[in-house]
Amino acid sequence: MSVIANLWRLARTAATFQRTGAMAEALEAMDAPRSIRIAARVLGWPLSPLGLEGDPALPPAPRALTALGPAYVKFGQLLSTRPDVAGEKIARDLRVLQDRLAPFPLEEARAQVEHELGRPVDEIFSEFGPAVAAASIAQVHPAVERETGRRVAVKVLRPGVERAFRQDVDAFWFIAKTIEFLAPSSRRLRPRAVIAHFEGVVMTELDLRLEAAAAAEFRANSAEDEGFAVPEVLWAHSARRVMTLEWVDGDPLGDVELLAARGHHLVPLGSFIIRSFLRHALRDGFFHADMHQGNLKLARDGTLIALDFGIMGRIDPYTRRVYAEILLGFLRREYRRVAEVHFEAGYVPADRDLEAFAQALRSIGEPIFGQDASHISMARLLAHLFDVTERFGMETRTELILLQRTMVVVEGVARTLDPNLNMWRASQPVVEDWMKDNLGPKAMRRDLVATAMVLSRFGPRLPDMAEKVLKRAVADATAEAAPRGLGAAGLVAMAGAGFVGALIGAAAASLF
């Protein structure tokens, strides 16, 4: 997309927010100064006719975001879980974006299923009903498998969604490059790396074969988790733009009044959601990264059912260990250790002051422990955290973006069930159990065994590798011994030392 097209896209975005009334509502929710509100109204008024009208039946914020496209809807879904950031009214209005958008026609869905699966719909399914849920990427249709009579859910991508996302992502790239050019200090936040990460996530979500694979892996990982379930994938009826899962019954997690009327205990459910997420992230390194209310149901027996696996996150074993140490340090209020972990992992430049960073972390952590969670302003806390990262030159860690984003969403979901929930207190049992299993003698033995197994795979090649290392060590020793006039014994000793050092270095590299 050209620069002119991107500028037009950004101007239309601002105009759409102005035309739908979302601009004024957002500024009010953020408690913006009166001067800024007046300036926005004066400057935005001439642009207003250029904006998209949207659906007049929707409230201002979802009306603007749905008009602008699926990438904006994704952003709205995130805000819908954070009333403490977006405000109660906007967050409540935005919940329509989770799974209650206007569906595309049933005929188009049937045509797409036939095209993707290569067979008539009526040959595969004895029933294929209208959409029961519609979101930014796809919608879900209830159906009955003809061969088995089993109820299933058929997910179908929206027509043209790939092109719409591409336009939005191109505009986001333009914004990121412009920010880096106009504000060089912003480069530590790596705007372009963030957009690259977002683009990768979105492109994966637009291939339902990958989502089906993620669902199958997530189901296998969580098979033994009591109170948590993932529906089974029907591979024979899945393709790039169509995915079929077993049908699951349950109440939407966003309907708190209904859950309470069913007799579910909401307070422990909030903690269970946080612990489930952390268990998957720390234990498996593979977690559901889009856990808003629209992707969660609660069965009559209290089982939490996860849906929609288009956005999943992965973190490697080392990052899991760092993340767990940081969490545990905050839980135990050991801020110096938290600071040390940041320095050890390279998250903070080595030339910064460790003690000053620990003091800054204390200023973030203590308000969490010092008062009831319902009185904590997450918006102010995030603003404070941003100030600290800027002061100490921390760069954005793209491998942690999904993890951090999901934590924000999960905490927001849990606090709709229990407004007084304290995420840190709910997290503690899972984090401590994981640390016991992964930072003690038991973990060291497991790491050594894993290292030995890696080395064993190179068994047939070890003699050749050792010979090459020894030859290189002899050559280096010869070159070093010549000026000193060392004899054969000294030469052999130096070569042996070099060989041993090389082996030790290879072993150390395999360990870390």
Active site residues: 290
CA–chain centroid gap for 435, Å, is: 22
Say how far apart CA 392 and CA 354 lie, in whole Å: 10
User: Which two tokens mark 147?
Assistant: 């061969």
Say how far apart CA 83 and CA 416 lie, in whole Å: 9
Say how far apart CA 73 and CA 498 lie, in whole Å: 60
Of 253, 306, 297, nearest to 276 by C-alpha is 306
334 backbone φψ class: left, alpha, beta (φ>0; ψ -120 to 50): beta
Q: What single-letter DSSP state applies at residue 4?
A: H
Instruction: Determine the Cα angle at 274 with ends 273 and 279, to 5°.
Output: 100
**b vs e for 80-114, b when ≥16 Cβ sit within 10 Å of the residue's Cβ?**
bbbbbbbbeebbebbbbbbbebebbeeeebbebbb
Count of C-beta atoms within a 10 Å radius of residue 207: 17
Angle between helix axes 401-417 and 266-279 (nearest 10 degrees) is: 170
At residue 217, the 3 state secondary structure works out as helix
Terminal-to-terminal C-alpha distance of the chain: 43
User: Which two tokens mark 134?
Assistant: 């519609």
Of 264, 258, 253, nearest to 293 by C-alpha is 253
Q: What single-letter DSSP state applies at residue 460?
A: G
Residue at 97: amino acid letter: L
Count of C-beta atoms within a 10 Å radius of residue 297: 20
